[in-house]
Amino acid sequence: MVSSQAERLKPYALDVKSPVNPVHWFLAGKDDVRSSYYLEDVATEFHIQGLELDWTCIVWDADLRHSARGWEHWSFRGSRWQRIRSPARRTYQKNAYRVLLTRARQGMIVVVPRGDAEDPTRQPDFYDPTFAYLQGAGLSVL
């Protein structure tokens, strides 16, 4: 699962713009490549809102980043990140991650990419402080 604003996960083959078919993703069995068992398609907060899932895997993008100043809100437009300044859009973004983080009944895995120093849109400093924050909050590192 990813935030609907997770635009820079494509290098990890996670394309938020490729819509998941919720019927197949949630209901198909282990023998169907369209199911969540295959971990090939991503669902966003819109697909999973209101559901309880046994296990979840969330991939965190640089749209919501932790820094020394607290949480920072970003939107990817064109070929670069732009800071979100609207309080309403910030609240909306926080709510997206709240939905993602509260669906699991048995357990969840949170993946924070390492980033890529060669890619100005995926710099490690966009991700590393978030990883450190989540680890400090008690998430175990696998």
Q: Domain limits of the chain?
A: 10-136
3-state DSSP assignment of residue 138: coil
The residues, ordered by sequence, that sit 6+ positions from 3 with a Cβ below 8 Å of its Cβ are 16, 44, 45, 60, 61, 63, 64, 93, 96, 97, 100
Q: What is the pLDDT of residue 22?
A: 86
* pTM for the model: 0.91
3-state DSSP assignment of residue 106: strand
Q: What is the pLDDT of residue 40?
A: 87
Q: What is the pLDDT of residue 39?
A: 85
Residue 100 identity: L
Q: What is the pLDDT of residue 63?
A: 98
Q: What is the pLDDT of residue 5?
A: 94
36 to 13, 33, 49, 69, 132: CA distances (angstroms)? 15, 8, 16, 36, 28
- Average pLDDT per 10 consecutive residues for the chain, totaling 142 residues: 94 88 90 90 90 93 96 96 97 96 96 97 98 96 92
